Amino acid sequence: MARALLLAHLDADDAEYTVCFTANATGAIKLVVESFPFSPNGSYVLTADNHNSLNGAREYARRGGAHVAYVAVDDELRLVDAAPRLDDVSSKRGPKLFAFPAQSNFSGVRHPLDLIEVAQRRGFDVLLDAAAYLPSSPLSLRRHRPEFVALSFYKLFGYPTGLGALVARRDALGRLRRPWFAGGTVEYVSVQNDLHSFLPDGAAFEDGTPHFLGAAALPAGFSLLAEVGMARLSAHVARLTNALLTGLGALVHRDGSPAVCLYGPGDRGARGGAAAFNVVAPDGRVVPYWIVEERARELGVAVRGGCFCNPGAAEAAFGFEREAAAHCLRTAGRDGAFTVQRFATCMNDRGDVAVGAVRASLGLANNDADVDRLIAVVESFLN
Ligand SMILES: Cc1ncc(COP(=O)(O)O)c(C=O)c1O
């Protein structure tokens, strides 16, 4: 029932797609990349704006000898020249995988879903990270047909944690090669004959006992989303995001200097319910994100500080100089005691280089008062 509800929510044809329950979106990504037949004449292309769970997949690709390449992002954190980058490796005859997030977990930017077809036309299988996109947007797997979609349920309706899913096209799942077998995935195993045979379809990808109590909560979650309506939810989140961006952008110090540096596009198009920013002092110094985070916590506002497991978007947003960043990462990590404060000290002669940001995420549970309270937190830094 829970699987059917998920497929219905994603407007997926169940003859074409199947659902494998996992521990989280990361587990879904790992299922794909550990089993993808990366080889020396194949490649893994991913966007610089990606969660670390996709960055980490490059290790599997390299282990298989595949070529690894990134699609860059521009100053507004939108993708640059994705198609030419895919073209560069489309002549490779081996298996090719392209991975990108439908929505950035750093900036909230929504990347064009048409990229799915752009990559597929060039012979790529597509792994769409929909973890940050799905909580406030509908997705139709009849309109766009990526081979693999990764998601976590707590992001959709808050509960259950520890449950995610890989939604996979059955044909693409059949091309994966599991690196091992486990309880729950096999039709039979013989120890004396050293034999095993996988269960058909998605069942071969669900290791061990599934989180069945969590799965039992999914019908209630999907009925909440149905009751609210995805179109209404999207409009609500877009309105709150607009209010937040407008409010933060309007904050200035007494001398008229801007108090907030917002990362991501200046325009409001194609972005979801997240905003990453830093508070800036009148002299241009960045207020360390952990200070803003702490003030927010004291005032009962939950924001996240750092790079949000998305170092590629962070490096582009903060304009890191490549060699300096490499030097400072090594320096700060000396003696196995990396701290972001050590990294910040190394990167910052003048205090104007951010090494992390503050992110506010907006969704189903937020209202106008939440936006006002966050703006009040930032206002408390004005002078
Ligand atoms: C875009 C994106 N991808 C992947 C993940 C990983 O999700 P999980 O921690 O549930 O595995 C997250 C989590 O924040 C995310 O925002």
Which domain range does residue 263 map to?
230-379
Indicate if the pLDDT at residue 351 is higher than 80.
Answer: no
Amino acid in position 243: A
Measured in angstroms, how far is the CA atom of residue 31 from the centroid of ligand 1? 15
Q: Which position among 261, 309, 328, 346 bears the catalytic label?
A: 309
Which residues, other chains included, contact 77 with Cβ-Cβ below 8 Å and sequence gap of 6+?
A: 49, 104, 106, 107, 109, 263, 264, 265, 313, 316, 317
Which atom of ligand 1 has the smallest separation from the CA of 164?
A: 10
- Nearest to 174, CA basis, from 193, 156, 199, 192: 199
Measured in angstroms, how far is the CA atom of residue 308 from the centroid of ligand 1? 9
Domain boundary among 196, 227, 258: 227
Strand residue runs (E) in 159-248: 164-169, 186-190, 195-198
Q: Which pLDDT belongs to residue 335?
A: 84
Who has greater pLDDT, 284 or 266? 284
Pair 258, 315 in one domain:
yes
Pair 206, 258 in one domain:
no
Mutational pocket test of ligand 1: of 110, 111, 152, 308, the residue with most ligand atoms within 8 Å of the beta carbon = 152
- 279 pLDDT band, cuts 50/70/90, is very high
Residue nearest to atom 12 of ligand 1 (CA): 131
Indicate if the pLDDT at residue 185 is higher than 80.
Answer: yes
For 147-180, the pLDDT digits (tens) are 999 999 999 999 999 999 999 999 999 999 999 9
| Cβ proximity of 102 and 54 under 8 Å | no
Q: Which pLDDT belongs to residue 91?
A: 84
- Among 6-10, 12-16, 90-94, 224-228, the range scoring the smallest mean pLDDT is 90-94
Q: Which residue has the tokens 């490549």?
A: 322
Domain boundary among 227, 244, 265: 227
CA atoms within 13 A on the CB side of 203: 9
Pair 360, 268 in one domain:
yes
Domain boundary among 227, 258, 291: 227
Burial tier of 377 (Cβ tally within 10 Å: 0-12, 13-18, 19+) = buried
- 77 pLDDT band, cuts 50/70/90, is very high
Mutational pocket test of ligand 1: of 21, 26, 137, the residue with most ligand atoms within 8 Å of the beta carbon = 26
* CB under 8 A, 24+ apart: contacts of 30-34: 30/57, 31/166, 31/205, 32/97, 32/127, 32/148, 32/150, 32/166, 32/168, 32/176, 33/57, 33/60, 33/61, 33/97, 33/127, 34/60, 34/178, 34/179
Which atom of ligand 1 has the smallest separation from the CA of 23?
A: 11
- 336 pLDDT band, cuts 50/70/90, is confident
Indicate if the pLDDT at residue 267 is higher than 90.
Answer: no
Q: pLDDT exceeding 70 applies to what percent of the chain?
A: 100
Which atom of ligand 1 has the smallest separation from the CA of 155?
A: 10
Who has greater pLDDT, 383 or 67? 67
Mutational pocket test of ligand 1: of 51, 54, 148, the residue with most ligand atoms within 8 Å of the beta carbon = 51
Please give the average per-residue pLDDT across 106-122, as a whole number.
97
Measured in angstroms, how far is the CA atom of residue 187 from the centroid of ligand 1? 32
Enumerate residues lining ligand 1, CB below 6 A.
Answer: 24-26, 51, 53, 101, 105, 129, 131-132, 152, 164
Indicate if the pLDDT at residue 268 is higher than 90.
Answer: no
Pair 242, 159 in one domain:
no
Please give the average per-residue pLDDT across 142-148, as a whole number.
98
Catalytic residue flag (residue 20): no
For 242-257, the pLDDT digits (tens) are 999 999 999 999 999 9
Pair 275, 212 in one domain:
no
Pair 101, 191 in one domain:
yes
Q: What is the total count of domains within the chain?
A: 2
Indicate if the pLDDT at residue 315 is higher than 90.
Answer: yes
Q: Which pLDDT belongs to residue 304?
A: 97
